Amino acid sequence: MKEQYIRQVEKELNLSRKAKTEVVRDLNEIFNSAVEHGETEQQVIERLGTPQEFANSTAEQFGIDNSVPKKRKWIISSVISLVVAIVAFLIYATAKSGKVPEGAIGQADAMTNIQVNGDFIFDASQIILLVGIIAFVFATIQIIRAVHNNRR
């Protein structure tokens, strides 16, 4: 129970490796001292609070906002998803705007008698459109979560 609690605190902390090592060492001392004085591990955990609460208060003691790196990750992933979506939509639009007549070869202006059939059900532009839609949906979900978490 103690080890799991300490691992979770360590995971929640957004501190340097050296600072995390110091916090883990201090937590081990807190648990060992409490057990020597008759407390159970469960009582110590209840006194310290949840791993996230303990991590936030510890980071605060170091003068660090523990939630900033998490928010940064959400923002970065949202921006990347939006960029991927925009690029995919632009590629799709470009591919569809220069569409050659059905059955034409290359950029011929007139119809030809040669017809080439592919083995694939989807052409590349449809796959690019699908990637754009997925990226846009992912970015939208990320943004909604970020806004929802900021309201708490």
Q: Could you read off the pLDDT of 13-42 as tens digits, one per residue?
A: 877 788 888 888 999 999 899 989 999 889
pLDDT in tens, the chain (152 residues): 888 988 988 888 877 788 888 888 999 999 899 989 999 889 988 988 888 888 888 878 777 766 555 666 777 888 888 899 999 988 888 877 766 556 656 665 666 565 556 565 667 778 888 999 999 999 888 888 777 765 65
Answering whether pTM is above 0.85, one says: no
What's residue 54's pLDDT?
86
Kindly write down the DSSP assignment for every residue of the chain, as one continuous string. -HHHHHHHHHHH--S-HHHHHHHHHHHHHHHHHHHHTT--HHHHHHHH--HHHHHHHHHHHTT--TTHHHHHHHHHHHHHHHHHHHHHHHHHHHHHHTPPPTT--TT-SS--S-----S-SS-HHHHHHHHHHHHHHHHHHHHHHHHHHHH-
